[in-house]
Structures are given as C-alpha cells and as structure tokens.
C-alpha cells in the first residue's frame, strides 16, 4: 500500500502555503525517523540536523524515533552528527527504538532522552544480513570487521548507559527487550513522558 505524505496548509499575512508534514515539523526543529535506517534516510536526517545547527546552534533539536533499526554504518553516521553539532539533541522513543534505533535514542543529550509510556527498546549485537560468499581469507576479514563494529557499538552503549562492557556483552548476546520503565532503569533514557513539556 502506497503511503501519502500528509500536507499541511498554513495561512499567514503573506498568503497560503502548503508543506509536507516533515518540512512543517522541521520549522519547529523536529526531525522524525520512522522505519528502517538506511543510507538515504541517514543522509536526510544528517542534512536536517546540519541545517538546524546552521540556523540556530544554541536551540535544541527534537528527534523522534520509531524504528526497527537498519544499517549500522548509516546509523553510526547519524550518531556521529548528533555528537558533532553543538545543539542539544532531545530524543524521543515513540513506539519502537530497536537495534540502531536504540543507539540513536541513547545518543541524545544526557538528561534529554525520553520515551513515551508504551515505548519499547531492543538491544542486540549487530546482525549480518544477506549471503556472504568468497574465499576463506575474505570471510575472515568480514568476521573481524563485524567483531570490530560490535565492539564499537558496545562501547557506545556502555558510555551512554553507564553499564560496564561486560554487562552490555551479556545483555546484547541475544535480543534484549526493554519497556519504557526498564529503559529508564537501564540508562537508555532519562525520563518517561506522559505529555509534551
């Protein structure tokens, strides 16, 4: 089923203007990630963050996440920009923040990471997708790269939650599901929101 992006009509003294909903939200410094984290999505989010930073480097960016994750490299590109810009990034989990979505959620400015009451977070080790073929030496190189990426992700999760690497390794060995209260206790978020502040 094809999803149509909602259009918002705004009337001011200057006239009437139609915006797609995401452009209208961007005017209020709101970025929304819904669905898979892929290269195209990451590039769009990065561009929006850089734009908002250039417009006003002191005002917070509000980053809403409802994502089952996706590409680790695309997700880390977003994460790095979140740390790079001088604006505080407020992150909000609405629905699901899984895998790289969870890393982005916890990548917000400490003290400004939120979840709604029925939100769910999933932590796990990075997955290999597709079918890998090739000589044994190439497979060994790929395996070593996966271990390096896993180590990097665990280091980020440890830093952002305050949990030890050993605890992160244990918990992320298999799917580790957290409801909003558990995400708060684990250090993924800082507050459960009932209403917008």
pTM of the model: 0.92
What is d(CA 152, CA 110) in angstroms, rounded to the nearest whole number? 19
Domains located in the chain, CATH noted? 30-192 (3.90.226.10)
Q: Is 108 exposed, middle or buried (0-12, 13-18, 19+ CB in 10 A)?
A: buried
Per-residue pLDDT tens digits of the chain, which is 197 residues long: 566 777 878 788 888 888 788 998 999 999 999 999 999 999 999 999 999 999 999 999 999 999 999 999 999 999 999 999 999 999 999 999 999 999 999 999 999 999 999 999 999 998 766 567 788 888 888 888 889 999 999 999 999 999 999 999 999 999 999 999 999 999 999 999 999 87
Which positions are annotated as active-site residues? 99, 124
The pLDDT of residue 167 is 98
What is the three-class DSSP state of 1? coil
Reading the block at residue 177, the tokens are 């599901």
Sequential DSSP letters for 102-165: HHHHHTSPTT-EEE-TT-EEEE------S---S-HHHHHHHHHHHHHHHHHHHHHHHHHH---H
């Amino acid at each position: 089923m094809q999803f149509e992006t909602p259009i918002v009509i705004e009337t001011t003294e200057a006239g009437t203007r139609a915006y797609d909903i995401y452009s209208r939200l961007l005017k209020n410094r709101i970025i929304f990630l819904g669905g898979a984290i892929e290269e195209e999505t990451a590039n769009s989010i990065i561009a929006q963050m850089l734009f908002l930073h250039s417009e006003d480097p002191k005002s917070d960016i509000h980053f809403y996440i409802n994502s089952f994750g996706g590409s680790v490299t695309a997700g880390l590109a977003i994460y790095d920009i979140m740390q790079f810009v001088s604006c505080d990034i407020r992150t909000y989990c609405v629905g699901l923040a899984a895998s790289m979505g969870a890393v982005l959620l916890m990548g917000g400015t400490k003290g400004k990471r939120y979840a709604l009451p029925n939100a769910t977070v999933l932590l796990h080790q990075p997955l290999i997708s597709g079918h890998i073929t090739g000589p044994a030496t190439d497979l060994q190189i790929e395996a070593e790269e996966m271990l390096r990426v896993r180590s990097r992700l665990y280091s980020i999760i440890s830093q952002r939650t305050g949990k030890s690497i050993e605890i992160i390794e244990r918990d992320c060995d298999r799917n580790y599901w957290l409801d909003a209260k558990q995400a708060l206790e684990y250090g993924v978020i800082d507050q459960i929101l009932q209403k917008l502040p």
